[in-house]
Amino acid sequence: MSRTAPLPAILFVCLGNICRSPLAEAALRARAVAAGLELDIDSAGTGDWHVGEPPDRRARATARRHGIDISGYRGRQVQAEDFRRFSHIFALDHTNLSNLRRLAPADATARLGLLLDMVDGLAGQAVADPYYGGEDGFEITWQQVDAAAAAIIDELYR
Ligand code: 4NP
């Protein structure tokens, strides 16, 4: 990447922005630091029920088990400006991807994609919503979003 290229800016989007996308944000932040890469990273939800709230307690506990504190994150809803500000927007599942396509303004510049399309062997799959399950579901979420974060870092290094 040339030095004059703008910083890659990556947004993760799920439904509530309190379970899956904050974990994806945390995983990529940690991997970017480890790789010495400067990235603009954020997460948002297509829904507005949890705007201003911290991540779900189970998501916070999962991140903490992996050495990351996400208690300062706050839920927010996707905005039209996000489609211009971010170079890449990754949806955590197919419904959120279709909703993003519907919400994208005519002058959107961001590339939209399904997050697990980044991961060998998981292309086309959704990161399942762990909200209505137990804490073990959040660990599966973590493993999936962390694999995607590793793949994103690989892609940016290439
Ligand atoms: P997320 O999970 O989209 O991974 O943040 C959910 C959080 C909240 C709700 C649904 C999914 N909800 O219906 O409130």
Determine, yes or no, domain membership for 3.
no
81 — alpha (psi -120 to 50), left (phi > 0) or beta?
alpha
Determine, yes or no, domain membership for 4.
no
Confidence at 5, pLDDT banded by 50, 70, 90: low
Contact 76, 44 (CB under 8 A): yes
Determine, yes or no, domain membership for 20.
yes
Q: Which atom of ligand 1 is nearest to the CA of 141?
A: 4
Residue 126 CA: distances (Å) to CA of 7, 74, 96, 123:
27, 23, 10, 9
Confidence at 158, pLDDT banded by 50, 70, 90: confident
pLDDT at 6: 76
Determine, yes or no, domain membership for 25.
yes
Determine, yes or no, domain membership for 88.
yes
Determine, yes or no, domain membership for 52.
yes
Residues assigned a catalytic role:
14, 20, 129
Q: Which of 18, 90, 100, 127 to mutate to test the pocket of ligand 1 (most atoms within 8 A of CB)?
A: 18
Determine, yes or no, domain membership for 147.
yes
- Check which CATH number belongs to the domain holding 124 and give it: 3.40.50.2300
pLDDT tens-digit series, residues 25-47: 999 999 999 999 999 999 999 99
Ligand 1 pocket list (CB less than 6 A): 14-20, 45, 49, 129, 131
Determine, yes or no, domain membership for 114.
yes
Kindly give the distance from the C-alpha atom of residue 130 to the centroid of ligand 1, in angstroms, as a whole number.
Answer: 8
Kindly give the distance from the C-alpha atom of residue 152 to the centroid of ligand 1, in angstroms, as a whole number.
Answer: 24
Token pair of 37, please? Answer: 């890469």
Which domain does 23 fall in, by range? 9-157
Residue among 36, 57, 53, 34 nearest 44 (CA): 53
Contact 24, 90 (CB under 8 A): yes
pLDDT tens-digit series, residues 57-103: 999 999 999 999 999 999 999 999 999 999 999 999 999 999 999 99
Kindly give the distance from the C-alpha atom of residue 21 to the centroid of ligand 1, in angstroms, as a whole number.
Answer: 10
| pTM, rounded to two decimals | 0.96
Q: Which of 53, 131, 135 to mutate to test the pocket of ligand 1 (most atoms within 8 A of CB)?
A: 131
CB neighbour list of residue 22: distance below 8 Å, 6 or more residues apart:
43, 55, 59, 63, 70, 73
Confidence at 4, pLDDT banded by 50, 70, 90: low
Contact 46, 98 (CB under 8 A): no
Number of domains in the chain: 1
Kindly give the distance from the C-alpha atom of residue 65 to the centroid of ligand 1, in angstroms, as a whole number.
Answer: 21
- Distance CA(155)–CA(158), nearest Å, equals 5
Helices (H), the chain: 20-35, 57-65, 82-85, 94-103, 135-157
